[in-house]
Structure formats: C-alpha cells, structure tokens
Homo-oligomer: A and B are copies of this chain.
Amino acid sequence: METGEATSESMERLRRRLLDAAQRIVERAGGVSVTLDITLDMVMKEAGVSRTSLYRAWPRKEEFEVDLLCDLAGPSWQGTAAFDEETILLARNVVAERLELLQTSGGREQLLREIVRRAANQNFSALVASAQWRTYVALTATILSMPDEDRRTRVRDSLQQAEAVFIQHMAVFYEGMSAILGYRLREPDLGFERLAAVGAAVVEGLGLRQLISAATVDAPLILEGPNGPEEWSLAAYGFFGVINQMIEPDPGYDVTTALTDYLKSLAQQEVSSE
C-alpha cells in the first residue's frame, strides 16, 4: 500500500479504483447475499409468544433464520405466489362459458387465444403484486453466494422443492387444458413440465422488468382478434408465442371424449383437494 494516491489521482479515479476492487470482491463471492431485516423481538411480539417459548423453539438465532429462509423459499406459500389459483379458475371459467366453441377447430383456436390472453394477464398481475414471489426470486438469485454451506444446501433444497411442486402443478393444468381444447405437444419429448418452465419464464422475466421499467412492460397492445380489436398485455402476448411454438392442433380430437375426460379430471381434483 502507498499513501497519498489521492493527490496523484483525481477523486473520481480513486473512487473508480476502489469500486472496481469492491466489484471484484463481490464477484469472487459469487454475488450479493440476502438478509432478513427481522429481530427475534419483532417475531415474539407479532406472534404473541414469550421469550422462553421462543428459545425453546430455536435455542440459537441462526437456527431460526435458516428455518425462516427455508420457509420463505419453500412450497408452503408457493400456493399463493407463482402458482395463482385465480389464473386456473379464470381459464376454467372461459372454457365453461364458451363450450360451443369446442365444436370446430376454428372455435378451439379462438378459445385457446382467449384463455391465453386473459389468464396470462391475470397471472402476471398476481405475480408483480406478490412480495412472496420477489423473495423467492431474490433467494434464487443469491443462493450460490450464501456464505454458510449448510444453510445454502438447506435453502436450495427448499427452493428446488417449491419449483418442482409449482412445475408439476402447472404441467398438469397445461396438459388438461390442451386436451380439452384439442391441442397436443408438437414435440412429445418436450413434456408439459418444460412447457410450464418456459411459460413461467416469460411471465416471471417480464415481472422482474416490470419492477424497474413499469411503463414499457405495462403498456397494453391492441391486436386484431377474430371478433375485432383486443387488448393484450405484453406478458400474454409473449406467452402466446411460447404456446404456439410448443403445441399444435390434435387431429384425433373428439369433443365428447375430451369433455368426458375433462369433467372426470375436475371431479378427481375436487375429491383430492378435500
């Protein structure tokens, strides 16, 4: 180390040199980390639980923290974040209200378009409003740089479990919707899981952009639809591209069989969720 650099370098060059050094350190660490701005006192007060009970639950603060991180990462709340029940309900209601469209291939194409337009928009809106989703993303983006190895492994396991549950859930939904609408995968090897992963990627990638450039992402598009102009969100339009790439009309479609299978699968889901 030398002294007096600031006299030979301008202040700006000194700052740049220091910031470059700091960036190298951050990069070697694999990025930034996530912290919980939360104290045990806050949790005790919020839960209405005594300090004695709290220490019985977690003798060390670190243990509480890793359990909380796993909880934030894990499938316990995924039901309300990336996986949005309202989206599923909306899609199913569009089918229920326009059953007559299932009779022709043109009608089915129109129905697919309408479902994508409305459901992807709903899914996007739910996502960007969700602090839980943002937390999930922040944990994912920082998992590689989480300093403690045991903590990193446990949080990553929770993230993986949440992702697997989400993808599985969405894949079942896409497969069922494709069947009732008379579509099938263009590449059977793709699998509905990977369709679900790409579909979620478009919506979540745009969700991230929306946090910093809302004006660009939120401006609606007016597209010419089968019955006149339609308003599309950018997320739905991009998602529609992914869907059109990955599925195609099923030449073996039979409306009665499809409807029977669809009703049976809905009934089955109703029974399983009780």
Cβ–Cβ contact A237 & B241, under 8 A: no
Kindly list chain B residues whose C-beta atoms are within 8 Å of the C-beta of A138: 31-32, 34, 138, 141-142
Q: Is A47 an interface residue (CB 8 A)?
A: yes
Chain B nearest CB from A203 CB (Å) reads 7
Q: How far is the CA of A205 from the CA of B201 in the complex (A)?
A: 4
Looking at chain A's contact residues, is the secondary structure mostly helix, strand, loop, or mixed?
A: helix
Chain B nearest CB from A232 CB (Å) reads 9
For A9, give the chain B residue with the smallest CB separation: B53
Chain B nearest CB from A43 CB (Å) reads 5
A36, A142, A212, A217: which has the most chain B beta carbons within 10 Å? Answer: A212
Cβ–Cβ contact A141 & B53, under 8 A: no
Q: How far is the CA of A1 from the CA of B200 in the complex (A)?
A: 43
Q: Is A78 an interface residue (CB 8 A)?
A: no
Q: Is A99 an interface residue (CB 8 A)?
A: no
Contact of A3 among B33, B52, B156, B189 (CB under 8 A): B52
Q: What are 12 A-B contacts defined by CB distance under 8 Å?
A: A2-B50, A6-B57, A20-B47, A24-B46, A25-B43, A33-B34, A140-B212, A160-B213, A167-B213, A187-B221, A200-B205, A238-B245
Where the two chains meet, the residues of A that have a C-beta atom closer than 8 Å to any C-beta of B are 1-6, 11, 14-15, 17-27, 29-38, 42-44, 46-50, 52-54, 56-58, 64, 67-68, 71-72, 77, 131-132, 134-135, 137-145, 147, 156, 159-160, 163-164, 167, 187, 189-190, 193-194, 197-198, 200-206, 208-209, 211-213, 216-217, 219, 221-223, 234, 237-238, 240-246
Query: 12 other contacts beyond A26-B36, A135-B141, A156-B212, with CB at 8 A cut-off?
Result: A1-B48, A5-B49, A21-B47, A23-B77, A25-B42, A26-B38, A32-B34, A141-B211, A163-B213, A193-B216, A198-B241, A202-B242
